Amino acid sequence: MLRSNGIRWGTVFVTVLLSPLLLAQTADQHDAAVLQIQVDRPIAKVSPTLYGLMTEEINHSYDGGIYAEMVRNRAFQDSPMHPDHWRILQDGNALASMQIDTSSGPSEALPSSLKLTVKQADASDVAGIANNGYWGMALQAETAYQGSFYAKAATNFSGPVTVRLVNNDTGTVVASATVPSLSNEWKQYKVTLQMGQIADSSSNHLELVVAHPGTVWLSLVSVFPPTYKNTPNGNRADLMEKLAAMHPAFLRLPGGNYLEGNHIRERFEWKKTIGPLVDRPTHRGPWGYRSSDGLGLLEFLEWCQDLHMQPVLAVFGGYSLEQEHVAPGAELAPYVQSALDEIQYVTGGTDTKWGAVRAKDGHPAAFPLTYVEIGNEDWFDKSGSYDARFAQFFDAIKKDYPQLQLIATAPVKSRVPDVIDDHFYRTAQEFFQDTHHYDKTDRKGPKIFVGEWATREGTPTPDMGAALADAAWLTGLERNSDVVIMASYAPLLVNVNPGAMQWNTDLIGYDAIHSYGSPSYYAQAMFSNDLGNEVVDSRLENGAPRLFYSVTRDTAKKMLYLKVVNASSGSQQLHIQLQGANRVNGTATVIRLSGHSMEETNSLADPNRIVPVKSSEAGISADFQRVFPAYSIQVMEIGLR
């Protein structure tokens, strides 16, 4: 395996001497296709922010996904009357019961808790509660896990409470720690659960047990593994590494539908997602489950910081999915103020009200911010109120922050947005036929953000056919990236366990312990890693119907990036002419992703079936022939002098 640009590319590094004669024999028979590239004639700038990420709480992207918390329904808020995902534990002759108690909780935000009543228990027959996590709990050898819980003991009970991690298959306690005594007031307790030499597995659960009769109330029961860059309350390392390898320039947050909620009362209320976890009430998301809000506004921003991305901050624009809207004017004013406060929380100095709150939350330094999006997919709002709602946000934000670029999610007439957010969920065929979508876009109008796009073929993650269509689509975005300044695939993440997924084509799949990139993930990483800063002039003659390409150059690196997508079932030969270069390196680095069929794909069981293969290939000159195999995506890095 070879590591390059942060991606574990799949395999060998070969040097191939290309014989034009051999190539001509292996290619399909048709009129020779000629690609002329004028390497010294730039025709447009490439947007340095073209490739980024779009995220929201869908498919257990955060809880049970990138947010590293291992305990499901940790604050017992998922269901008002039932402790979902928890079970009572009664060893031997122990007797105990559990129920949600709405009369006591550790904070105003979490007013209820789990009441555990133990009638009978002793050292050999303990009682308690157990949690299976998000389809298991991943534990790794020689690793320390940070456990914590809030508790309040009745006067008939003072502890101890033992926290333990147990292997489901053997019943072995793989780590445990004991809190010796509990207070009669709500208090947080912390333990470290140290693994020894175990076999890595996700077949584990958590137990909190006691060995005496008595009553105890519990809340915010948490277990964290080590996180990416050890960020507290942070993210799962394997998923963050996969995202880092895409070299994303931005993170569009926090949605998507998740920003809006089904109802206005279920919107992403950023002020309820900051500060200590115990002060976050959790909220119902639009995708059928409750969000812990452990991944709140500050955690989004730290995610950006960890991956060197800028946030594209979507603020609630006054419309929710069930056709509820806030009337523009006085009614909308508090929502506009909330957006201004949010921008101040992100960017303000510690001498500002919300910048000071951010500092108190642990992050004194302000975050960079250029783009603010007003709402999400407001073309769905049948009331026709978006134009006026957008205008109210636009005027208020521009007044305080004239430097910010404001994104509209639907056409508006009363103001000119800086950027328009376009969304495309398509079949492969539709993308193949629409790669020229932005060729004729007015260059004097607003810029374009393709904030959500995907070929919806393959489940839970896109197959090779989808990757080919995605790559074909990207050639069109790159060619037009003077006007298409940002693009992000959606949805990004999916927990592939039964019942976890709501949207059936998602870029990266995982369970509690493993993750994999789809072919489309690799195609996007390849495109992003070799972006370039200028589009150069080019012309393709006699190109086959499903042959797509993009050609950019990096002026600092003196490198030409030729991306060719052959979505046909046959190989295709290209006669490539590089005009205007003083000298062309005779050897190019070629990164190739290819499959045997449109349906071939990666999965948890077969994560590396389709991965990029990197090779060093000779025979490159100002005039050369090359065959592009069936169902392949290639990036050629050609050195220029």
Q: Are 219 and 111 spatial neighbours (Cβ–Cβ below 8 Å)?
A: no
> What is the closest distance, in whole angstroms, from the C-beta atom of residue 490 to ligand AHR in the complex?
4
Q: How many residues bind ligand AHR (CB under 6 A)?
A: 11
Could you tell me which residues are beta bridge partners of residue 623? Answer: 577
Give the residue, chosen from 257, 273, 461, 495, that forms a contact with ligand AHR under the rule CB under 6 A.
Answer: 257
> What is the closest distance, in whole angstroms, from the C-beta atom of residue 423 to ligand AHR in the complex?
6
Closer residue to ligand AHR, CB minimum distance, 486 or 640? 486
> What is the closest distance, in whole angstroms, from the C-beta atom of residue 261 to ligand AHR in the complex?
11
Q: Which stretch binds ligand AHR (CB under 6 A): 102-110, 255-263, 301-309, 625-633?
A: 255-263
What are the CA-CA distances from residue 73 to residues 202, 252, 282 (Å)?
18, 26, 10
> What is the closest distance, in whole angstroms, from the C-beta atom of residue 135 to ligand AHR in the complex?
22
Closer residue to ligand AHR, CB minimum distance, 86 or 270? 270
User: Judged by CB under 6 A, does residue 377 bind ligand AHR?
Assistant: yes
Q: Which of 523, 529, 510 is nearest to 612 (CA)?
A: 523
User: Judged by CB under 6 A, does residue 378 bind ligand AHR?
Assistant: no
> What is the closest distance, in whole angstroms, from the C-beta atom of residue 368 to ligand AHR in the complex?
24
Ranges of H-type helices in 322-385: 333-347, 353-360
> What is the closest distance, in whole angstroms, from the C-beta atom of residue 258 to ligand AHR in the complex?
6
Backbone angles phi, psi at 125, to 5 degrees: -120, 85
Could you tell me which residues are beta bridge partners of residue 609? Answer: none
Length of the chain: 641
DSSP strands (E only) in 261-390: 283-284, 290-291, 310-315, 319-320, 324-325, 371-374
Half-sphere exposure in the Cβ direction for 373 (13 Å, CA): 29
Name the token pair of 143. 């690793």
Q: Which of 511, 505, 508, 558 is nearest to 244 (CA)?
A: 508
Backbone angles phi, psi at 279, to 5 degrees: -100, 15
For the segment 429-458, give every residue that binds ligand AHR (CB under 6 A): 452
Could you tell me which residues are beta bridge partners of residue 178? Answer: 162
* CB closest to ligand AHR, residue no: 256
Q: Are 63 and 292 spatial neighbours (Cβ–Cβ below 8 Å)?
A: yes
Q: Which residues contact 415 (CB under 8 A, 6 or more apart)?
A: 390, 391, 394, 395
User: Judged by CB under 6 A, does residue 254 bind ligand AHR?
Assistant: no
Q: Residues 494-513: x/- map of binding to ligand AHR (CB under 6 A)? A: ---------x----------
For the segment 197-216, give every residue that binds ligand AHR (CB under 6 A): none
Closer residue to ligand AHR, CB minimum distance, 342 or 377? 377
CA distance 198 to 633: 41
Closer residue to ligand AHR, CB minimum distance, 98 or 490? 490
User: Judged by CB under 6 A, does residue 256 bind ligand AHR?
Assistant: yes
Closer residue to ligand AHR, CB minimum distance, 376 or 520? 376
CA distance 183 to 613: 59
> What is the closest distance, in whole angstroms, from the C-beta atom of residue 317 to ligand AHR in the complex?
12
Closer residue to ligand AHR, CB minimum distance, 65 or 256? 256
Closer residue to ligand AHR, CB minimum distance, 161 or 507? 507
Q: Which residues contact 29 (CB under 8 A, 6 or more apart)?
A: none
> What is the closest distance, in whole angstroms, from the C-beta atom of residue 430 to ligand AHR in the complex?
16
Q: Which stretch binds ligand AHR (CB under 6 A): 43-51, 75-83, 251-259, 332-340?
A: 251-259
Backbone angles phi, psi at 448, to 5 degrees: -115, 135
DSSP strands (E only) in 196-264: 204-210, 214-224, 250-253
User: Judged by CB under 6 A, does residue 462 bind ligand AHR?
Assistant: no
> What is the closest distance, in whole angstroms, from the C-beta atom of residue 56 to ligand AHR in the complex?
5
Q: Which of 568, 566, 569, 550 is nearest to 632 (CA)?
A: 566
User: Judged by CB under 6 A, does residue 461 bind ligand AHR?
Assistant: no
Q: Are 90 and 195 spatial neighbours (Cβ–Cβ below 8 Å)?
A: no
User: Judged by CB under 6 A, does residue 405 bind ligand AHR?
Assistant: no
Q: Which stretch binds ligand AHR (CB under 6 A): 92-100, 152-160, 250-258, 577-585?
A: 250-258
Q: Which of 519, 524, 575, 577 is nearest to 547 (CA)?
A: 575
Q: How many beta carbons lie within 10 A of that of residue 492, not counting itself? A: 28
> What is the closest distance, in whole angstroms, from the C-beta atom of residue 74 to ligand AHR in the complex?
25
Strand 405-408, strand 419-426: pairing = parallel
User: Judged by CB under 6 A, does residue 376 bind ligand AHR?
Assistant: yes
What is the Cα Rg of the chain in Å? 27
Q: Residues 56-75: x/- map of binding to ligand AHR (CB under 6 A)? A: x-x-----------------
> What is the closest distance, in whole angstroms, from the C-beta atom of residue 277 to ligand AHR in the complex?
25
Q: Which stretch binds ligand AHR (CB under 6 A): 114-122, 249-257, 479-487, 613-621?
A: 249-257
Residue 394 gets the label, from left (phi > 0), alpha (psi -120 to 50) or beta, of alpha
> What is the closest distance, in whole angstroms, from the C-beta atom of residue 421 to ligand AHR in the complex?
9
Q: Residues 209-248: x/- map of binding to ligand AHR (CB under 6 A)? A: ----------------------------------------
Q: Report the Cα 294 to chain-centroid distance in Å.
A: 15
For the segment 129-148, give every residue that binds ligand AHR (CB under 6 A): none
Q: Report the Cα 541 to chain-centroid distance in Å.
A: 39
Closer residue to ligand AHR, CB minimum distance, 301 or 501? 501
Name the token pair of 356. 């000071």
> What is the closest distance, in whole angstroms, from the C-beta atom of residue 424 to ligand AHR in the complex?
11
Q: Are 496 and 510 spatial neighbours (Cβ–Cβ below 8 Å)?
A: yes
User: Judged by CB under 6 A, does residue 490 bind ligand AHR?
Assistant: yes
Q: Which of 521, 520, 503 is nearest to 459 (CA)?
A: 503
Q: Which stretch binds ligand AHR (CB under 6 A): 242-250, 252-260, 552-560, 614-622?
A: 252-260
> What is the closest distance, in whole angstroms, from the C-beta atom of residue 415 to ligand AHR in the complex?
22
Q: Which stretch binds ligand AHR (CB under 6 A): 212-220, 254-262, 339-347, 366-374?
A: 254-262
> What is the closest distance, in whole angstroms, from the C-beta atom of residue 331 to ligand AHR in the complex?
24
Binding site for ligand AHR (CB under 6 A): 56, 58, 255-257, 376-377, 452, 490-491, 503
